[in-house]
Structure 1
Amino acid sequence: MSFELVDLPALSRFTVDRRESLRGDAERIAQLWPKARVVTVDAHGRTLVADQASRLVDRPATDFGDGPPDTAVLLGEQDGVAYWAVPLTEDETDVAVPGGRAWFRPELTDEPQWLDLRACGAMLDDTGAGLFTSAVALFHWHRSARFCAACGGTTESIKSGWARVCEQCGREEYPRTDAAVICLVHDGADQVLLARGEGWPEGRYSVLAGFVEAGESLEACVAREIEEEVGVEVSGIRYLGSQPWPFPRSLMVGFEAVGDPTVPLRLAEGEIAQARWVSRSDVRRALAEPGSVPDLLLAPGASIAYRMIQSWAAVD
C-alpha cells in the first residue's frame, strides 16, 4: 500500500525569492540594504528565536554598517525586503549548548532563546524555516572552503556569499550538495522497518538512509543501502519527496519501498545498533504521545524521516 507525504518536510519550506541575479547586483543590494533584515547564526549553528520558537529574531541591517559585512550571505528578498545572515564568532557566542543537541527538544518559553535548526526547524514559520536552513548550509560551506582545492590559496567570499574565489589562481568555488537517499521500508500492509544507528540514544528509531556513491542512481542506492544495513532486499522503490539537511550539506531524497518482514535482519556492524518491524498502531501511538510506546522514540520533527513516518502512519 503506497502513500504520499501529508505535507512538505519541515526544512523544505521557503517563501523568499532566491534568484541568482540579485546576488551580483551591487546597485540593487545597496538600494535594499537600508531596509534589509539580518539573522545572526552563532558558532554552534544556533539563531535567536521567539514566539514559542516559531519566529526568527532578526535585526535591522544598518546595525551592521552601511553595507553588508564581508562575512554576510544574502538569503533572498520578499516584499521589497532583503534578508541576510551574518555568522557570529566564538567570542560572540556565550550561551551553553545543550547535550545531545541532535535530539534536543526545546522548552517553549515566551522569552527568545538560542536554538539550532534540528531543535526548532519544525516549529518555525515557512519564511523562518527557509532562511535558517539556507544560512546554516552556507556557513557550513564557507568554513570548509577557505582554501582553494586547486592550488591551496586563500579564498574570499563573493556574489553575496554564494561563491568563493581564490586570491592566488582566480578559481571560483560554489556551494556543494551531497545527495543521500532515505527510505521508509514497509511490508505493503501494516508494518514498517525502523532502525537505531550506532551512537543514537536508547530507544531512538528512524528510517534507513545513506549517501549516493559515484556513478550510482538514487534507486540503486536505496536497494544497496537497505541490503547493506539490514540485509533486506526491497522492491517497489518509489520517490516521495526531498529536503535539505545542512549537517553539513546533504540533500535527503525520500523513497518508500517494500520488504519482507519474515527475512531475518542482518545488521551492519558499526552502523546499525538495532532494527525491528513496528506495527502501524504502535507508530501512531508513538507519534501522538512520545514515550507512550516502550523503547520507541521517533525521528525529530525537523527531519524528512519524521514526515515520512507520519505520512505512512496516516494511511487507513
Structure 2
Amino acid sequence: MRHAETVTFGGGGLDRSEDLRRHPEILETLPVRTLAMWRGKPLMNAARDGLALVDGHVFADLGTPVLLGRIEETAIFARDVSGLDVSGLSDALGAFLDPSEQTHPDLPNGTAFCELRGMMTHLTPLDAELAATARGVLEWHRTHGFCANCGTATQVGKAGWMRACPGCARAHFPRTDPVVIMLVTRGNSVLLGRSPGWPEGFFSCLAGFMEPGETMEAAVRREVWEETGVRVGAVSYLASQPWPFPGSLMLGAHGQATSETIEIDPEEIAEAIWVPREELAEVFAGTHPRLLPARDGAIANFLLKNWLADTLA
C-alpha cells in the first residue's frame, strides 16, 4: 500500500539512537529535553498542536527516564510523572473519550497533559512517533517491575530499554503485541463491528490479537469467523500502526469475504453489519442517520478512507 506510512504514528523518521543506549558516557555529553507523561498523557504545548519538550531532566525524582532518540544532537527522553499532584482531575479520566486536561505550576505556562487519542491527529509525524513510543515503553515499565521468571525486582538498563534481573540474570525488553485489524469486503460492502461498551452508532473494522504459531492471514480468518460467522478467503497486507494503548502493533489487512450471513458471538462483539460504499461515504460526511465513523487517526479510519478513495493498492 503506497500510502502506508502516512498512517498516524507512522513515518516520523525518529532517530532512535540505539548506539547511545549502549554508550552512556556519550549520552551524558548531550543536551537533554524531556517529554513528561502523566498517566499516559503527553505534555502538549499551549496551542495544542505539538508536544511540549522541556529542557533538562525535569522531575528527576519521579519515574524512569527513557531515551526516545536524538534530534539535532539533543537527546530526547520520556519520563513518567504520574506521581505529580496535578490540577484538572476529572471523572473523564480513562474514558473512551477523555477531553480533560491536567496542569502543574512547575511546567511551562499554557501546557497541559492531554489524552493522546484526542491529540494524535494534531501532531506532526515526528511528534506522534515520540508520543507513541513514550506511552508504550513507559507503560511497559509500569507493569514489568518484577522478573517474570523468578519474581525479583528488576533494574533499568540501556537508557530505559531493558530491565535486568539481579536474581536470575534474565534480561527483559519492551514488548509489542501484534493485532490484526481487518478491512473485510464483499462486493461493494464492508464489514464493520461494534464492541460492547462503545458509544451507540460507533462502528469500526474488526480486530483481534494474533496467537502463537499463527500467521497474519490465519488470524484474520479466525477472528472474523469467531466474531461474526463470516468466512474470509484471500487476505493481503495493507499497512501497520503502532497503537500504544497500551502496547500493540496493528497489522492492517484486506480480507475478501466468501460468505455474507452474520452470526455474532455476543461475548466477542455487540453488533456487526455490512455497510455499502455509498452509506460509508455518508458516515464520513457526517450525514448518516445512525452510524458514526471510526476514530480519526486510528488505522481503521485510515483503511476505510483509502477503500472509499480506491487507493488501497
Q: 1:40 aligns with which of 27, 30, 36?
A: 36
Give the corresponding residue for 1:307. 302
Mapping of residues 142-181 of structure 1, within 5 Å: 142-181=141-180
| Shift in Å, 1:214 | 1.3
Could you list the per-position Cα deviations for residues 12-51 of structure 1 after superposition, in whole angstroms to 9, with x for gaps in the alignment? 232321132111211221111xx22101000x21122136
Q: Is the 8 A contact 1:205 1:298 kept in 2?
A: yes
- Indicate the SS of the match to 1:10: coil
Q: Is the 8 A contact 2:233 2:258 kept in 1?
A: no
Q: 2:245 aligns with which of 237, 247, 255?
A: 247
Q: 1:278 aligns with which of 256, 275, 279?
A: 275
Cα separation, 2, equivalents of 1:194 and 1:51: 37
| Shift in Å, 1:58 | 1.1
Identity, in percent, stands at 36
Structure 1 unaligned blocks of 5 or more: none
Could you list the per-position Cα deviations for residues 215-248 of structure 1 after superposition, in whole angstroms to 9, with x for gaps in the alignment? 1111000001101111111122110011111122
Which structure 1 residue ranges, 4+ long, deviate > 6 Å from structure 2? none
Q: 2:88 aligns with which of 95, 108, 119?
A: 95
| Shift in Å, 1:260 | 4.8
Q: Is the 8 A contact 1:229 1:271 kept in 2?
A: yes
Cα separation, 2, equivalents of 1:178 and 1:75: 20
Q: Is the 8 A contact 1:5 1:308 kept in 2?
A: no
Aligned AA (1:102): F
- Indicate the SS of the match to 1:130: helix
Q: Determine whether 1:133 maps to 2:125.
A: no
Relative to structure 1, the CA distance from residue 120 to residue 106 in structure 2 (aligned partners, 3 Å threshold; closer, same or farther) is: farther
Cα separation, 2, equivalents of 1:51 and 1:293: 35
Q: Is the 8 A contact 1:103 1:300 kept in 2?
A: no
Q: Is the 8 A contact 1:267 1:275 kept in 2?
A: yes
Q: Is the 8 A contact 1:13 1:129 kept in 2?
A: no
Aligned AA (1:266): E
- Indicate the SS of the match to 2:96: helix
Q: Is the 8 A contact 2:186 2:256 kept in 1?
A: yes
Q: Determine whether 1:82 maps to 2:75.
A: yes
Aligned AA (1:274): E
Relative to structure 1, the CA distance from residue 64 to residue 113 in structure 2 (aligned partners, 3 Å threshold; closer, same or farther) is: closer
Aligned AA (2:199): P
- Indicate the SS of the match to 1:83: strand
Aligned AA (2:95): R
| Shift in Å, 1:208 | 0.5
Cα separation, 1, equivalents of 2:133 and 2:93: 24
Relative to structure 1, the CA distance from residue 247 to residue 201 in structure 2 (aligned partners, 3 Å threshold; closer, same or farther) is: same
Cα separation, 1, equivalents of 2:263 and 2:24: 57
Structure 2 unaligned blocks of 5 or more: 102-108
- After TM superposition, the structure 1 stretch with the greater mean CA deviation from structure 2, 6-15 or 243-252, is 6-15
Cα separation, 1, equivalents of 2:290 and 2:17: 46
Aligned AA (2:134): A
Point out which structure has higher relative CO (alpha carbons under 8 A, 6+ apart). 1
- Indicate the SS of the match to 2:28: helix
Cα separation, 1, equivalents of 2:176 and 2:9: 15
Mapping of residues 87-236 of structure 1, within 5 Å: 87-97=80-90, 98=92, 101-104=95-98, 111-188=110-187, 190-236=188-234
Q: Is the 8 A contact 1:15 1:78 kept in 2?
A: no
In angstroms, what is the RMSD of aligned CA positions? 2.4
- Indicate the SS of the match to 2:262: coil
| Shift in Å, 1:284 | 2.0
- Indicate the SS of the match to 1:129: helix
Aligned AA (1:288): A
Give the corresponding residue for 1:58. 53
Aligned AA (1:286): V
Q: 2:15 aligns with which of 17, 41, 47?
A: 17
Relative to structure 1, the CA distance from residue 151 to residue 106 in structure 2 (aligned partners, 3 Å threshold; closer, same or farther) is: closer
The count of residues paired between Structure 1 and Structure 2 equals: 303
Relative to structure 1, the CA distance from residue 99 to residue 146 in structure 2 (aligned partners, 3 Å threshold; closer, same or farther) is: closer
Could you list the per-position Cα deviations for residues 267-307 of structure 1 after superposition, in whole angstroms to 9, with x for gaps in the alignment? 01222111111122222232233xx2122112212311111
Relative to structure 1, the CA distance from residue 58 to residue 165 in structure 2 (aligned partners, 3 Å threshold; closer, same or farther) is: same
